[in-house]
């Protein structure tokens, strides 16, 4: 049976706040993430700790997942520490991606190099809207150069955000094109599929062979529903143009089993469905491992 890979899961709250405490499955009501509680009111995927999340991943038939730290949910150092610890506990299931904070005053490129060389991180996740910084901000350029040198991907929030105190412009995919032009060997994964700029992201991925489209936090049934804005991805992603660069993900926002079942039901060619569910991610993860093996 073809492998299923969830390319983006995030840390359950208990794991980076107080590992011994009760945790909280809601987003913080006191933060800019509070409005997410209104948008994502139903059951989400994962669980309150890593053990529950890994169990749910397995129950859904998912073989592997990429665990991504995201500074948006807390101190980036604590997030990176938690990712390192959890991946060490579940090395056969999880691959770790770390994060940075441009306002922390740290050398972001040096942070990434240490995480990759010393703690086996395999990629970096950025949340431009959480920083109120565009993805093409030149403060990130040394980080992009380092990731290109190391051969590790950068995943970038590329879609709407639901924070009421900042613009959705921070997630516009157009800015990825400039990054891809300036760093032609950098693998860029556009998280969340680019909606409502799906056409824009499809064009950028068509132009740049190192840009991937990840569909986390979106119920797959809506991607296959006409008049939802996903028609271009369904057309190009089901053809030889982009079928090898679409990545299944949940972002812990959609229950794992539901997401798998809905993607399996999409009107895709069999080989394309297998690629979206895990084949494309498996190739990308293998390429990164090959590159890191010679460092």
Residue spans per domain, the chain: 5-292
Structure tokens, 9: 């899961």
Non-local (6+) Cβ contacts of 209 within 8 A are none
Number of neighbouring beta carbons within 10 Å of residue 150:
21
Confidence band, pLDDT 50/70/90 cuts, at residue 30? very low
The H-or-E segment that residue 91 falls in is none
| Res 24 pLDDT > 80 | no
85/2: higher pLDDT:
85
Please confirm whether the linkage preceding 196 is cis (ω < 30° from 0).
Answer: yes
Percent of residues, the chain, with pLDDT higher than 70: 91
Q: How many CA atoms lie within 13 A of 135 on its CB side?
A: 29
Across the range 267-283, mean pLDDT stands at 98
Fold of the domain spanning 5-292? TIM Barrel (3.20.20)
- What is the overall mean pLDDT for the chain? 92
Structure tokens at 15: 């794991």
Q: φ, ψ for residue 184 (rounded to 5)?
A: -65, -15
Scored b (16 or more CB within 10 A) or e, 204-219 reads bbeebebbbbbbbbbb
Count other Cβ atoms within 10 Å, centred on residue 238.
18
pLDDT score recorded for residue 21: 42
């Amino acid at each position: 049976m073809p492998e299923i890979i969830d390319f983006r899961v995030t840390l359950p709250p208990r794991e980076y706040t107080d590992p011994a405490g009760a945790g909280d499955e809601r987003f913080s009501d006191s933060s800019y993430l509070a409005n997410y509680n209104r948008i994502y009111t139903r059951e989400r995927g994962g669980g309150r700790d890593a053990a529950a999340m890994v169990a749910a991943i397995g129950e859904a038939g998912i073989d592997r997942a990429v665990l991504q730290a995201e500074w948006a949910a807390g101190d980036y150092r604590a997030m990176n520490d938690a990712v390192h610890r959890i991946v060490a506990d579940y090395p056969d299931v999880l691959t770790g991606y770390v994060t940075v904070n441009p306002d922390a005053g740290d050398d972001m490129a040096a942070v990434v190099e240490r995480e990759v060389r010393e703690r086996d991180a395999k990629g970096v996740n950025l949340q431009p809207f959480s920083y109120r910084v565009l993805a093409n901000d030149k403060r990130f350029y040394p980080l992009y150069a380092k990731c290109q040198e190391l051969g590790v991907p950068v995943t970038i929030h590329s879609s709407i955000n639901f924070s009421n105190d900042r613009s959705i412009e921070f997630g516009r995919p157009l800015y990825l094109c400039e990054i891809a032009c300036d760093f032609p060997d950098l693998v860029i994964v556009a998280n969340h599929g680019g909606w409502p700029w799906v056409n824009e992201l499809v064009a950028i991925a068509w132009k740049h062979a190192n840009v991937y489209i990840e569909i986390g936090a979106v119920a797959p049934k809506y991607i296959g529903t006409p008049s939802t804005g996903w028609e271009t991805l369904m057309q190009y992603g089901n053809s030889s143009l982009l079928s090898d660069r679409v990545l299944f993900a949940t972002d812990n926002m959609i229950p794992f089993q539901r997401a798998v079942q809905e993607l399996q039901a999409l009107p895709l060619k069999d080989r394309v469905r297998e690629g979206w569910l895990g084949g494309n991610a498996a190739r990308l993860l293998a390429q990164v491992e090959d590159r890191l093996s010679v460092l």
